[in-house]
């Protein structure tokens, strides 16, 4: 079992009757250039990518983690980044074969790969599909050249359109990532972007409001963003436009055509399990008597050195009983339809009575709605999600 610097093991505090679905997250940590708003674990590519060494480290990491997930099968696979589409189709193909030969992956498993315009070559994307990737998530962000420039993206609007065309020739399950609330953006421009996203006819759209995150260039040198009221109106109008086009709003920033929700992301939000492989990847694994969280070495070089020795994990903790309600709610309350009441006990091993006072308070404040079957954030709760979540802090 992998080594760990921190191990606050307190097993035996809970008892799970069944284990949740298990997803696999694979982090590819390089990008052509670091975007000034990005707080992901992404590193500017300098020289050739060490594709073979990195893929070998991922496979070694998986092998060392297998004892934690014996007998379980994979519910979904997600290659995230960074920019996974910088990797060759040959590497992705081999990785998927290596994964399939070590852990059961049913034939209909959702396999998503994140891709950025500027890395699209027709043949490569045909080969990604042939390798078994069946869903693409494309980081478009905007169709407006001035806004793409302000975001420090490497692509322009025409390149974004070309990327979608190539994607649509090979994939029928595509997500477009779009952002609004951009520097100097008007409401009309935000709606133009979403409108064009809709016209491409993809199954899924993610619409994120730009936020200034610590440890980013934008945080230390903030651009002028739309005022609070304008940003709130943008959000409302964006949601209306997507609803009118038949997109169901199912999570804070996620919108899908009927039947096309992301199975991988839904598993996170329903407090499912995920094994995170790769530099800086996080994981959550349930056992009958405990739930564990793991984090892997963040620097790619360090990760590649440690994973083959079974030492990629730098943080390893058992989630304490007192922290479980907040951790569950942090995910579940992002879902517009909420979750079945019974899921709380199923995924945390705790009785719903453990959070009854917080649920009652949230209801009294108009932040939460529930009946005997389901609990969900109210419209007010969706707007004031942090206030709602605070009620579940230990
Ligand atoms: S392309 Fe994505 S992951 Fe890479 S730096 Fe930009 S926002 Fe971050």
Interval 129-158: pLDDT, tens = 999 999 999 999 999 999 999 999 999 999
> What is the structure's pLDDT at 7?
43
Q: Is 83 in the pocket of ligand 1 (CB under 6 A)?
A: yes
- Give Cα separations from 250 to 14, 103, 326, 332 (angstroms): 30, 30, 20, 11
Give nearest CA residue, ligand 1 atom 6: 35
From the CA of 253, how far away is ligand 1's center (Å)?
A: 17
Q: Are 336 and 312 in contact (CB under 8 A)?
A: no
- Residue carrying structure tokens 């100097």: 184
Q: Answer whether residue 315 shows pLDDT above 90.
A: yes
Going by C-alpha positions, the residue among 79, 72, 65 that lies closest to residue 22 is 72
**Ligand 1 within 6 A of 41 CB?**
no
Pocket probe mutation, ligand 1, options 34, 115, 211, max atoms within 8 Å of Cβ = 34
Residue range 211-243, pLDDT digits in tens: 999 999 999 999 999 999 999 999 999 999 999
Instruction: CATH number for 321-394: choose from 3.50.50.60, 1.10.10.920, 1.10.1240.10, 1.10.530.10.
Output: 1.10.10.920
The residue whose two tokens read 């869903």 is 135
Q: Are 170 and 129 in contact (CB under 8 A)?
A: yes
CATH 1.10.10.920 location in the chain: 321-394
Q: State if residue 38 touches ligand 1 by the CB under 6 angstroms criterion.
A: yes
Cβ of residue 86 lying under 6 Å from some atom of ligand 1: no
Q: What pLDDT was estimated at residue 361?
A: 97
Atom of ligand 1 nearest to the CA of 34: 5
Instruction: Tell which one of 30, 42, 155 to mutate to probe ligand 1, the residue whose CB is within 8 A of the most ligand atoms.
Output: 42
Identify the CATH homologous superfamily for domain 7-267: Aldolase class I (3.20.20.70)
Q: CA 324 to CA 350: how far, in whole Å? A: 8
Strand partners for 292: 285, 318
User: Does the structure show a pLDDT above 50 at 307?
Assistant: yes
Q: Is 216 in the pocket of ligand 1 (CB under 6 A)?
A: no
pLDDT tens digits for 48-103? 999 999 999 999 999 999 999 999 999 999 999 999 999 999 999 999 999 999 99
Pocket probe for ligand 1: among 83, 87, 218, the residue whose CB has the most ligand atoms within 8 Å is 83
Distance (angstroms) between ligand 1 centre and the Cα of 82 equals 6
Distance of CA 376 to the CA centre of its chain: 21
Contacts with 393 (C-beta within 8 Å, 6 or more apart), sequence order: 326
pLDDT at 2 over 80: no
Q: Residue 15 pLDDT > 60, yes or no?
A: yes
User: What angle, 0 to 180 degrees and rounded to 10, lies between the N-to-C axes of helices 89-100 and 122-131?
Assistant: 10
Residue whose structure tokens are 């919108």: 255
Structure confidence at residue 273 (pLDDT): 98
Distance CA 314, CA 194 (A): 40
Q: How much distance in Å is there from the Cα of 312 to the middle of ligand 1?
A: 23
What percent of the chain has a predicted confidence (pLDDT) above 90?
A: 95
pLDDT of residue 9: 42
**Closest ligand 1 atom to 33 CA:** 5
The pLDDT mean for the chain works out to: 95
Contacts with 356 (C-beta within 8 Å, 6 or more apart), sequence order: none
Q: Is there a cis peptide before residue 94, judged by omega within 30 degrees of 0?
A: no
8 CB-near residues (< 8 Å, 6+ apart):
317, 318, 320
Q: Whose CA is nearest to atom 2 of ligand 1?
A: 82
Please, are residues 30 and 86 in contact by the beta-carbon 8 Å criterion? yes
Q: What is the pTM of this model?
A: 0.95
């Amino acid at each position: 079992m992998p080594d760990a610097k921190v191990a606050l093991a307190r097993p035996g505090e809970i008892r799970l009757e069944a284990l949740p679905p298990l997803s696999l997250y694979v982090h590819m940590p390089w990008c052509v250039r670091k975007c000034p708003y990005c707080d992901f674990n992404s590193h500017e590519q300098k020289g050739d990518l060490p594709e073979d060494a990195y893929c070998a480290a991922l496979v070694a990491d998986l092998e060392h983690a297998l004892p934690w997930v014996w007998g379980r099968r994979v519910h979904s696979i997600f290659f995230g980044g960074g920019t996974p589409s910088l990797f060759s189709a040959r590497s992705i193909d081999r990785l998927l074969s290596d994964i399939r030969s070590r852990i059961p992956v049913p034939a209909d498993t959702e396999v998503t790969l994140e891709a950025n315009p500027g890395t699209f070559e027709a043949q490569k994307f045909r080969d990604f599909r042939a390798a078994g990737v069946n869903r693409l998530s494309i980081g478009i962000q905007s169709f407006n050249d001035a806004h793409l420039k302000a975001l420090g993206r490497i692509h322009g609007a025409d390149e974004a359109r070309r990327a979608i065309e190539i994607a649509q020739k090979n994939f029928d399950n595509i997500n477009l990532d779009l952002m609004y609330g951009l520097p100097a953006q008007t409401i009309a421009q935000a709606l133009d972007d979403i409108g064009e996203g809709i016209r491409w006819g993809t199954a899924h759209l993610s619409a994120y409001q730009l936020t200034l995150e610590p440890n980013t260039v934008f945080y230390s040198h903030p651009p002028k963003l739309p005022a609070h009221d304008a940003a709130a109106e943008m959000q409302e109008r964006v949601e209306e436009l997507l609803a009118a086009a038949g997109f169901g709003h199912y999570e804070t920033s996620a919108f899908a055509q009927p039947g096309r929700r992301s199975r991988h992301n839904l598993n996170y939000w329903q407090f499912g399990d995920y094994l995170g492989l790769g530099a800086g990847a996080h994981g959550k694994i349930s056992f009958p008597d405990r739930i564990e969280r793991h984090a892997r070495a963040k620097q790619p070089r360090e990760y590649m050195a440690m994973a083959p020795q079974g030492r990629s994990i730098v943080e390893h903790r058992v989630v304490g009983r007192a922290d479980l309600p907040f951790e569950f709610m942090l995910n579940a309350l992002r879902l517009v339809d909420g979750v079945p009441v019974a899921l709380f006990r199923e995924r945390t091993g705790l009785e719903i009575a453990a959070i009854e006072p917080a649920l009652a308070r949230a209801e009294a404040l108009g932040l939460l709605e529930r009946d005997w079957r389901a609990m969900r954030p109210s419209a007010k709760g969706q707007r004031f999600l942090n206030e709602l979540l605070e009620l579940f802090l230990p």
